[in-house]
Amino acid sequence: MTTTTTRPAPVADWVTINDLYADPYPIFRRMRQEAPVHWVPAVNRYMVVSYDACHTIEQDPDRFTAREQGSLMYKAMGHSMLRKDDPEHAVERAAYGGVLKPRAIKESWTSVFEANTEKYIAHLKEVGSGADLIRHFAAPFAAANLVEILGTLGADWHDMERWSQHMIDGTGNYADDPEVWARALTARDEVETMIDELAPHYRANPDHTLLSHLVNSPRILARLGPPKLLSSRTPARESSRAVASAERGWVGTPWLPRGDPRAIGSGHDVQVDPPSPRRERVEPEEPVHGLG
């Protein structure tokens, strides 16, 4: 979160970027014990670390806008949904909704998810002892599902995972590492080129994928612009982490017998252990009141 404030906040000058990358949760825990809001010089940001303060911010988009000036996300990924408020955000939600509604998931995507589940569980078994849950199952499983849903013909899960990771690395490149920027911009360019190349195919051969839906919806294109502007929607990392956290939660509840429906399907694991804990908001004018 970037903000202007008249209330002094503790300065967490003990926080380093390397420590945040290594394990941010002990840092967040220490901050919460001291104050809900801290200024962190290492990233040139205020960090809001308490539930109540985060909830206040999320419920007040008029005061705390998502339009952060100078956000690294603009450079790494373009102007994505995370940097938009309603009504612009609502337009994009509506644009994707038809492909991702429960009925569409049931009719078009459940069989894809099931097939990929079997495929990558088999791969995990083949790796055997020493297998890594994220690297050998969650990452390829999530990325392969996204390839199918998005309709990125000619790309595989390796491409999707790489694009997603490199662009996300760019959004967090507070150290301004030129190599990180180079990878992020290369990934963005590759995705934009791919979308430009696939657009004519989907105009001639429409199907139920997201890219086809967007390319063949003049109303959506009129509101959102060319398809290449939608290139930042490759959240493979978040999806893979959600899968991994769900598995960890299931393994961590041995009192639930195998096959018990309470062990799966609730979605509570994503709420308890979200795959993307950092959100940014901007308070352009007013001081930070009511967050303490």
User: In this predicted model, what pLDDT tens digit does every residue of 149-183 receive, in sequence order?
Assistant: 989 999 999 999 899 889 889 888 988 999 999 99
Phi, psi of 110 (to 5 degrees): -60, -40
Query: Is there a contact between 209 and 199 (Cβ–Cβ < 8 Å)?
Result: no
pLDDT band at 225 (very low <50, low <70, confident <90, very high): low
Alpha-carbon torsion angle 87, 91, 97, 99, nearest 10: -160
Task: Tell me which residue of 79, 106, 111, 96 sits closest to 212, measured CA to CA.
Answer: 96
* 3-state helix vs strand vs coil in the chain, percent to 5: 60, 5, 35
Average pLDDT over residues 22-44: 94
- The β-bridge partners of 11 are 39
Q: Which residues of 30-53 are buried (b: 16+ CB within 10 A; e: fewer)?
A: ebeeebbbbbbebbebbbbbbeeb
pLDDT at 231: 42
Q: Say whether pLDDT at 284 is over 50.
A: no
Whether the pLDDT of residue 45 is over 80: the answer is: yes
Length of the chain: 292
Rounded Cα distance between 229 and 195, Å, is: 9
The pTM of this model reads: 0.70
Beta strands in 62-173 (DSSP E): none
Backbone angles phi, psi at 269, to 5 degrees: -60, -35
48 sits in which H/E element: strand 45-48
Q: How far apart are CA 87 and CA 106, in angstroms?
A: 29
Residue 75 has pLDDT above 60, yes or no: yes
Listed in sequence order, the DSSP H helices in 128-217 are 133, 139-150, 157-171, 178-204, 210-215
Cα separation, 77 vs 170, whole angstroms? 8
Q: pLDDT tens digit string along 182-195?
A: 999 999 889 888 88
98-251: CATH number? 1.10.630.10
- Token pair of 46 as six digits: 């205020």
Domain ranges of the chain: 2-86+277-283, 98-251
How much is the pLDDT for 49?
A: 93
Buried/exposed 202-222: b ≥16 CB within 10 Å, e otherwise: beeeeeebbbbbbbeeeebbe
